[in-house]
Amino acid sequence: MKCVLLFLMLSVTSLLAAQEFSDSTRGVDTKYLEDQFYVGLTYNFILNKPEGVTQRNLSYGLMAGFIKDIPINLRRNVAIGIGLGYAVNSYYSNLRAIETASGYTYQYLDGSVSYKRNKIETHLIEMPLEFRWRNSTATDFKFWRLYAGLKLGYIVGSRSKFVTSSYKDSFFNTDTRNFRYGLMLNFGYNTFNIHAYYALNSLFEDGTFGPDSGQIEFKPLRIGLIFYIL
C-alpha cells in the first residue's frame, strides 16, 4: 500500500511539473509583461530653422533602452511604461559652428563653399514615460500597440564637425541645451512600429545667435521605426 501511495504521489507530482512546463512553453503567463527592451532608427528633421539654413545629407538617430512595463488593469493590455535609454542624434545642415577663444560663432555655408559634411551630433541619456495600450494576450505575441507620452533627455555630449576633402574640424560644442523634453508616439503592429518625437524646447541654449544676429531655435522632429523585444 505504501508503494502504491508513493507511486501515486510521484505520478501527480510529475503530471503537475509537466503541465507547468507545457504552459510555460506555450507562453501562458497570467503575469506577463510586454515590450521591455527597444531599439530604434529615425530620420531627424530640423524645425524652426533660420532663413538661409537648409538640411543636407542624412540626419539620423539611433536609440536603445529598457522600459519597465507596469500593467494597470486585470487584462494587462493597459499599462504605464517608465524607461531608461541611450540615444545618438545627428543633424546635418549648412549652419557651421566655429570654435573661438571666446566661445562659438556660426556661419551659413553657401554654394561657394565646397564641403562633404557639416553636422552637430548629440549623445543623450533618455527617460521615456508612456501610457500604453495594446490588444495582446498571454498567448498572442502579434498585436497592435499605441504608446504615447513624454520623453525626457539629458545631453551628455555634443560635437560639431565640419569636413572637406582636405580639412576636418571637430570639437565639443556646449551651446546645446542639456535638458531635453518632448512628446512621443509609438504605433504599429507586431515587429514594425512607427516612432515619432517632437521636441518642446530648442536644441540650442537661449542666447545662441546665427550670423544674422537672430537666435537659433532648432526644434528636432524625429520620425522612424522602433522595434520591441520581450
Task: Map out the domains of the chain as residue ranges.
Answer: 1-30, 34-229
Q: Which residues are within 8 A (CB) of 193 and not within 5 positions of it... i.e. 6 or more apart?
A: 145, 186, 187, 225, 226, 227, 228
Q: CA 194, 36, 34 angle in degrees (round to 5)?
A: 80
pLDDT for 230 = 84
Taking CA atoms, 100 is separated from 103, 130, 217, in Å, by 5, 42, 21
Choose the weakest-confidence range: 24-38, 63-77, 80-94.
Answer: 24-38
- pLDDT for 21 equals 40
Q: What share of the chain is helix, strand, coil (3-state, %, to 5)?
A: 10, 55, 35
For residues 85 and 63, the answer to whether their CB atoms sit within 8 Å is yes
User: Cα separations (Å) of 227 from 2, 42, 84, 142, 214?
Assistant: 57, 12, 15, 13, 39
Residue identified by cell 512595463 is: 69
Spatial distance between the Cα atoms of 126 and 159, rounded to a whole number of angstroms: 18
Amino acid identity at 36 = Q
| Helix (H) or strand (E) segment spanning residue 98 | strand 95-100
CATH number listed for the domain at residues 34-229: 2.40.160
Q: Tell me which of 24-33, 148-157, 165-174, 180-189 is least confident.
A: 24-33
Supply the pTM of this predicted model.
Answer: 0.84
Mean per-residue pLDDT of the chain: 88
